[in-house]
A and B are shown apart, each in its own frame.
With several copies, the nearest count.
Chain A
Amino acid sequence: MGIRKLISEDGLRIDGRRLDEIRPIRFKIGVLKNADGSAYVEWGKTKILVGVYGPREAHPKHLAVPDRCIVQARYHMAPFSVEERKSPAPSRREIELSKVIREALEPAIFVEMFPRTTIDIFAEVLQADGSTRCATISAASLALADAGIPMRDLVSSIAVAKVEDQIVLDVKDEEDKHGSADMPIAIMPSKNVITLIQMDGMLTYEEFKKAFELAKKGCMEVYKKQRETLESYFKEIKVGLENV
């Protein structure tokens, strides 16, 4: 662990970004044939594929509840997505992230509209370079939209971190490893409400407030990209339909 500086004297990070700059993010919608909805995201070097099935009959049946649909999420990392091969069996980390991802997306879904059904969100991390949970949440809301599931809003997510005593936006692996705090959040941007917040590290109350504001700003940028992708996707579909 050499003592490499993660932030240069002129305030640039190892990949040349400013402190409040996000990495290049590219969403793609409708990438799978079988899934009812799907999306793919490249978020810096992070690459994730999300497929959504549902609303569909609960399986096993005892999962069904009479007044709403059950949302299920599985966050899973491919063995080849990280430096050291990861066993394909779900780790404790993956099980926890599956839970918080589900709880970040569920508030956006009109679950009462589909009693006795399930909506299943499956995310595969093909390459991990930080912010995989945020990228998963952001891509999954596009996949949910692609599946035609009525939503209150998209969910947009990003992480902020404290690196060398500065609050920075959207950390990648190397920054994360040597950072002293990490805070992913997810919001429904047009509602200004939080659906996910986690944190570990050390932040004073002032740092926390600053970090939170920076994260919100980042989420708005993600939101913009999500909407642009959605719009051009549905435009394409519409054009396609007109050509029929």
Chain B
Amino acid sequence: MSNIVPSIKKRHIMALAESGKRIDGRGLTDMRKLEIRTNVLDKAEGSATVKLGDTYVIAGIKFEIGDPFPDIPNEGVISVNAEFLPLASPTFESGPPDERAIELARIVDRAFRGAKMINTQRLCIIPGKKVWIVWVDIFILDHCGNLIDASALASLCALMTTKMPRTEVIENEVKVLNEYVPLPISNLPITITLAKIGDKLFVDPSLDEEEVMDCRISVAFVEKNGQEHICAMQKGGPGILTPEELMRAVEIAKVKSQELRKIVLSGGE
């Protein structure tokens, strides 16, 4: 494995960036073309696909009745999982989720949690005994860079269109009705990931950019009470950020997340 090709590519990417350009023609803060489709599956209670450039992700939502955690007996459980399918990249292998898939799922999960997006108390069926477990399964179908943002978006859009089954409790037996209500969602966190290459930040990095980046920083924003709040953040990769780069990344993410939230609220694209 020679490092010659990446280092040439890196120099090329950095040279272009000096004049604010990228190898796929975008500006440094431009996202790739985005296509969101929701309710793409009948058997899932919610679903969405996201195409971000050629990156392709699907998220599906399933409900299951289960036990609450002992320390929060009156709240349902959100479980976010990610599978890096071997068909999505020659670098992915079959098997249980590796550290990349686990990190991704936990970043997505933390943004939802930080934003208090889902009212988990409304997922309680019998206090202390039975609650809804909401499974959010993210499947990476084509890996062309920036899986975090695509996955966060697909999960968000799938949850937004999710219909929750109603239940009836008779003598401690739960009966699932054939009626549905929307999932109790309020705040919409939007995650923006930037790659750092040299001293430049690249919004929505492509696979080429990720291969040569020093590190990445993901920042999720949510609007609450008319004000933008950071609700999750994660640096990834073995590089460093200066405090100035961090602040710059947060500011760019704030702007881009607002743009993206508008698109989501307007129903995609």
Contacts and interface: CB of A to CB of B under 8 A. Distances in A.
Contacts of A127: 41-44
Contacts of B58: 78, 126
A78 B60 contact: yes
Interface string B113-149: 1111000000000000000000101010111100000
Given A34-B90, A79-B137, A107 B239 contact: yes
B232 interface: yes
A83 B43 contact: yes
A34 B230 contact: no
Identify which of A82, A89, A122, A216 gathers the most chain B CB atoms within 10 Å of its CB.
A122
A11 B104 CA distance: 37
A12 interface: no
A194 B83 contact: no
Interface in A70-108: 71, 74, 76, 78-85, 88-89, 92-93, 95-96, 98-100, 102-103, 106-107
Contacts of B63: 85
Nearest to A123: B87
B174 to A, nearest CB: 15
Identify which of B43, B99, B234, B235 gathers the most chain A CB atoms within 10 Å of its CB.
B43
A49 B42 CA distance: 16
Contacts of A89: 96
Given A80-B47, A103-B215, A198-B235, A209 B110 contact: no
B231 interface: yes
Contacts of B208: none
A127 B215 CA distance: 31
B243 A199 contact: no
Interface stretch (A19-27, A164-172, A200-208, A234-242): A200-208
Contact of B254 (A34, A199, A201, A205): A205
Contacts of B243: 192-194, 212, 216
Interface in A136-184: 181, 183
Contacts of B231: 200-202
Contacts of B44: 80-81, 127
Given A122-B85, A197-B234, A204-B229, A209 B103 contact: no
Nearest to A80: B60
B3 interface: yes
B240 A79 contact: no
Contacts of A49: 87, 141
Interface in B233-269: 233-243, 246-247, 250-251, 254
Interface string B79-115: 0010101111110001011010011011000110111
Interface residues of B, number: 71
Contacts of A32: 56, 87-88, 141-142
Nearest to B103: A96
Contacts of A203: 229-230
Contacts of A195: 235, 240
A191 B236 CA distance: 19
Interface residues of A, number: 70
A82 B43 contact: yes
B96 A193 contact: no
A74 B89 contact: no
A228 interface: no
A127 B137 CA distance: 13
A200 B47 CA distance: 25
A202 B243 CA distance: 20
Contacts of B19: none
A84 B44 CA distance: 9
A231 B141 CA distance: 25
Identify which of A51, A80, A202, A204 gathers the most chain B CB atoms within 10 Å of its CB.
A80
B43 A81 contact: yes
Nearest to A107: B240
Interface string B25-46: 0000000000000000111100
A202 B224 contact: yes
Contacts of B86: 51, 53, 74, 120, 122
A65 B1 contact: yes
22 contacts: A32-B56, A34-B88, A35-B142, A38-B87, A53-B90, A74-B86, A74-B94, A92-B106, A100-B234, A103-B237, A107-B239, A107-B240, A120-B86, A122-B87, A122-B94, A124-B141, A192-B243, A198-B234, A200-B110, A200-B114, A203-B229, A208-B250
Given A200-B111, A202-B114, 11 more contacts: A32-B142, A79-B62, A80-B47, A80-B61, A92-B97, A98-B99, A99-B99, A100-B235, A193-B240, A199-B234, A212-B243
